[in-house]
Amino acid sequence: MGSGAAHPGKLASQAVLALSPYVPGKPISELQREYGLQDIIKLASNENPWGPSPRALQAMRQAVDEVWLYPDGSAHELKQALAQALRVNTTQVTLGNGSNELLLLLAEAFLTNAHSAVCSQYGFAIYPLVIRATGARCIEAPALPASARMLHGHDLAAMAAAISADTRLVFIANPNNPTGTWLDNGALRSFIATAPAHTLVVLDEAYYEYARHAGCEGSIGWLQEFPNLVILRTMSKGYGLAGMRIGYAISHPEVADALNRIRPAFNVSNVAQAGAIAALADSAHVNQVALRTIAERERVQAGLTAAGIRYLPSAANFLLVEIGARALEVYEQLLRGGIIVRPTVGYGLAQHLRISIGLPEHNDRLLAQLTQLMRAA
């Protein structure tokens, strides 16, 4: 055996070897194995506990009968449904296995080790990961200071100042994960208008179905004016289809063409396509779910305020809650009580926990346990 055969991992690129893998929220099955618990609620991954439209469930069950066939690689019907719903052309749509895949495709298509990309401090952890995987330089702009209304949110002035001649991508999440903070439409539009033509502004609207009720609307209408704008959305959150992995990008047709050149064939299954088409046709369900979630978020906020627990403003289906130096200890105690939330140490927010908004009974249980733990401290 050759001397190098024992270390095949060293054959990977240095850019990849330098990465720290993304760690998702702890699954229920893992907590069951660790602590032998059965009565578990998961408030860690910003999932939609109300579930998808009944029409989507029915369509997916019917599609299962044909899983022996490859899906439509171009997803013609789903693209048509999205184009009609968004009032765009199908040539502007790119489908992904969740919006995370589209982030990866954008990095692969537009970045090399001769380029840079800009993201924000406390922004979504996948952005620096996909940037660095290409060997490109990741420029992290500082977030808004403590004096700002949107503490830890995107500082658009700092992000604009970070753009250089070799910058090809800027990642902006609106609202942002994990902070829940959001950007004013006017400020965001001005940022896009002043971005150089050689830089694509990637506007990640994963939580759009919730954020639109906070005034985060209008970005689709900007596409005709700004050819360097790319909008990402997902059906994992508001549509309740996280397990199906369906994301989509809306962009200038030339950007979509570049993405589709490297998009893996059959990256969206036939079951997922069927569910997405049916879900798009049931906008009433999505809107109802969003309003229920917002009402529950406001109720949880009131409960936290009454308990003296601070949190950041949010336009999404989660809250970033300030726990203090005992954040990891509280996280572990909640786990032992059968509640999974998300520590944010990896985001540089070691004194916080991100908590998804669940069903009313889930939120009641969370508030009771968290209040008790904080008072005991």
E strand or H helix at 95, and its extent?
strand 93-96
Q: Label each residue of 300-367 as H, E or C.
A: HHHHHHHCCCEECCCCCCEEEEECCCCHHHHHHHHHHCCEECEECHHHCCCCEEEEECCCHHHHHHHH
For 94, the 3-state DSSP assignment is strand
E strand or H helix at 173, and its extent?
strand 167-173
Q: Where are the domains of the chain?
A: 22-46+284-376, 54-282
274: CB partners within 8 A, 6+ apart: 59, 60, 62, 63
pLDDT tens readout for residues 115-149 = 999 999 999 999 999 999 999 999 999 999 988 88
| Cα separation, 325 vs 308, whole angstroms | 16
For the entire predicted model, the pTM comes to: 0.94
- Tell me the pLDDT band of 22, cut-offs 50, 70 and 90: low
According to the model, what pLDDT value does residue 1 have? 45
pLDDT tens readout for residues 204-245 = 999 999 999 998 887 999 999 999 999 999 999 999 999 999
| Cα separation, 228 vs 314, whole angstroms | 28
Provide mean pLDDT across the span 144-155: 92
Superfamily of domain 22-46+284-376: Aspartate Aminotransferase, domain 1 (3.90.1150.10)
Q: Which CATH topology does 54-282 take? A: Aspartate Aminotransferase; domain 2 (3.40.640)
Task: Specify which residues 200 forms β-bridges with.
Answer: 169
* Contact yes or no for 353/321 (Cβ under 8 A): yes
pLDDT tens readout for residues 299-356 = 999 999 999 999 999 999 999 999 999 999 999 999 999 999 999 999 999 999 999 9
Tokens linked to 71: 């899906």
